[in-house]
Amino acid sequence: MAAGRTIAVLGGTGDQGYGLALRWAKAGERVIIGSRVAERAEDAARKIREELGGQGEVEGRENPAAVAGADIVVVSVPFSAQATTLKTCKDSFREGQILCDLTVALASNIGGPATRMIVPPHGSAAEQAADLAPKGVKVVSAFQNVSAEALSSLDEEIDCDVIVCGTNDAKPVIRELIAHLPGARYVDGGPLYNSRIVESITALLIGFNIRYKGIHSGIRISGIPAN
Amino acid sequence: MAAGRTIAVLGGTGDQGYGLALRWAKAGERVIIGSRVAERAEDAARKIREELGGQGEVEGRENPAAVAGADIVVVSVPFSAQATTLKTCKDSFREGQILCDLTVALASNIGGPATRMIVPPHGSAAEQAADLAPKGVKVVSAFQNVSAEALSSLDEEIDCDVIVCGTNDAKPVIRELIAHLPGARYVDGGPLYNSRIVESITALLIGFNIRYKGIHSGIRISGIPAN
């Protein structure tokens, strides 16, 4: 299933990045956890291998080394760290790589509630990623609405559509990664510009999780034919 | 079913307002179609009575007279007409009425695409409605994501959740109106502030309808227990 490719998950020590790395490693993808500190990345990689009973091709590296070793770079860091992370990795990217951004500018990044958004200078976190990514890197956004808790529980279905915005010829690859998440479904979200709406849905879902105590809410788009 | 109450639908001559008025009249609610021009409102009311085979308590009035005769005022006008409509009706509102705003600030209001949003001065159209509504009127927002085409086809199920934001003690009434739309489900969207996210989802859905040709997309929130 790995198709010879490697996925770097920057911020793979955090809840959502960890959950995705876990799911993808379980599905047979080769994964590199990226972190600012190599030891923390290695710890997370070890934990994934343990959860998978010793299976799983997962290693941990500092972010720039993770980017250098990957075909697909998944950015799953707090919005407040996104620009710095991408700048740090600037020289490690190469043409043709896919950058899949998961960042959401929740107001919790500035000490506010996670149920509200701040407006990024580019309109969306994904557009900021596109501005900071070196030329020739194919930028998409996806997975922002997927519950970290659901991802981390390997026996839980992912009851959520994944709306993918951005570079069209990267979408089939992201679609393959979505297919590794049982229950999740790929939906074409159009241009990267639309990510500003998809990102804000995350804040809305966090509000549902609070109001409807203890749930892991997700989003489904109705009316789209089965694919 | 009508519980002695009357629903005014301002902009009930437009696609979405018409569809809601049709569904509610069919369910036995007393409905007043509101329009800038009384004759156009009367025409729409006549058309609904015809569609319902002569049944349905529906009449047409100028907007201010529609507001004066109603317990629930549904505002379904283009964003570019919302402020003027509410100002025109200012003296007709009374304390305790419910104002349910459906307005979405699509960029089509300023000659742009309906797949993109403009940012209203208050952050959302619903918050603008709240600012313009007389004191004592209970403001909520709802129904923005429901397909007008689906509403107008009486044999079609409404495959969409209705996220209701705003005044809590108005929500049970809106929930009753949602129950008249087969397939639709009430979801508590929290404070009116959240309407900015719910409204923007409309632009996203319009994009899906274009990319996935000919569908009437809607939104479902997964993980919320049946209610």
DSSP symbols for A143-170? -TTS-HHHHHSTTS----EEEEEE-GGG
Give the model's pLDDT for residue A108: 96
Nearest to A78 by CA among A110, A47, A115, A48: A110
Q: Which residue of B has its CA nearest to A159?
A: B222
- Contact between B218 and B161 (Cβ < 8 Å): yes
Please judge whether A203 and B197 are an interchain contact, meaning their C-beta atoms are less than 8 angstroms apart.
Answer: yes
Please judge whether B217 and A221 are an interchain contact, meaning their C-beta atoms are less than 8 angstroms apart.
Answer: yes
Please judge whether B188 and A221 are an interchain contact, meaning their C-beta atoms are less than 8 angstroms apart.
Answer: no
Q: Count of CB contacts below 8 A, A vs B? A: 101
Structure token pair of residue B61: 């009035």
Give the model's pLDDT for residue B84: 98
Mean of the pLDDT values across residues A171-187? 98
Model confidence over A73-119: pLDDT tens digits?
999 999 999 999 999 999 999 999 999 999 999 999 999 999 999 99
Give the model's pLDDT for residue B4: 85
Please judge whether A208 and B223 are an interchain contact, meaning their C-beta atoms are less than 8 angstroms apart.
Answer: yes
- Contact between B85 and B72 (Cβ < 8 Å): no
Question: pLDDT at residue B3 above 70?
Answer: no
- Contact between A74 and A9 (Cβ < 8 Å): yes
Give the model's pLDDT for residue A197: 98
Q: Which residues does B contribute to its contact with A (CB < 8 Å)?
A: 115-117, 147, 159-160, 163, 187-190, 193-194, 196-198, 200-201, 203-205, 207-209, 211-212, 215-225
Model confidence over A15-43: pLDDT tens digits?
999 999 999 999 999 999 999 999 999 99
Mean of the pLDDT values across residues B73-93? 98
Structure token pair of residue A180: 């590794």
Q: DSSP for B129-149, please give it.
A: HHHHSPTT-EEEE--TTS-HH
Q: Which residues does A contribute to its contact with B (CB < 8 Å)?
A: 115-117, 147, 159-160, 163, 187-190, 193-194, 196-198, 200-201, 203-205, 207-209, 211-212, 215-225
Give the model's pLDDT for residue B94: 97
Q: How far, rounded to the nearest angstrom, does the alpha carbon of residue B115 sit from its chain's CA centroid? A: 19
Question: pLDDT at residue A1 above 90?
Answer: no
**CA–CA separation, B193 vs B186, rounded Å?**
18
Query: Which residues fall within 8 angstroms of residue A48, CB to CB, at 6 or more apart?
Result: A18, A21, A22, A25, A31, A33, A56, A58
Interface test with B, best of A204, A217, A220 (most B CBs within 10 A): A204
Residue B140 DSSP SS3? strand
Model confidence over B6-34: pLDDT tens digits?
999 999 999 999 999 999 999 999 999 99
Structure token pair of residue A208: 């549902």
Number of Cβ within 10 Å of residue A188's Cβ equals 17
Closest Cα of chain B to A45: distance in Å?
Answer: 30
- At residue B46, φ and ψ (nearest 5 deg) are -65, -40
**CA–CA separation, B157 vs A98, rounded Å?**
40
* Residue among B197, B203, B220 whose CB faces A204 most closely: B197
Interface test with A, best of B221, B224, B227 (most A CBs within 10 A): B221
Give the model's pLDDT for residue B226: 76
Q: Which chain B positions have a beta carbon within 8 Å of A194's beta carbon?
A: 115, 204, 207
**CA–CA separation, B93 vs B68, rounded Å?**
6
Query: Which residues fall within 8 angstroms of residue B61, CB to CB, at 6 or more apart?
Result: B8, B32, B33, B34, B35, B38, B41, B69
Mean of the pLDDT values across residues A60-82? 98
Please judge whether B117 and A218 are an interchain contact, meaning their C-beta atoms are less than 8 angstroms apart.
Answer: no
- Contact between A118 and A196 (Cβ < 8 Å): no
Q: Which chain A positions have a beta carbon within 8 Å of B205's beta carbon?
A: 221
Mean of the pLDDT values across residues A177-205? 98
**CA–CA separation, B151 vs A95, rounded Å?**
48
* DSSP helix, strand, coil percent of chain B (3-state; round to 5): 40, 20, 40
Give the model's pLDDT for residue A3: 60
**CA–CA separation, B110 vs B220, rounded Å?**
29
Closest Cα of chain B to A85: distance in Å?
Answer: 28
- Contact between A151 and A158 (Cβ < 8 Å): yes
Question: pLDDT at residue A2 above 80?
Answer: no
Percent of chain A whose pLDDT exceeds 70: 98
Q: Which residue of B has its CA nearest to A184?
A: B222
Better-scored residue on pLDDT, B87 or A4? B87
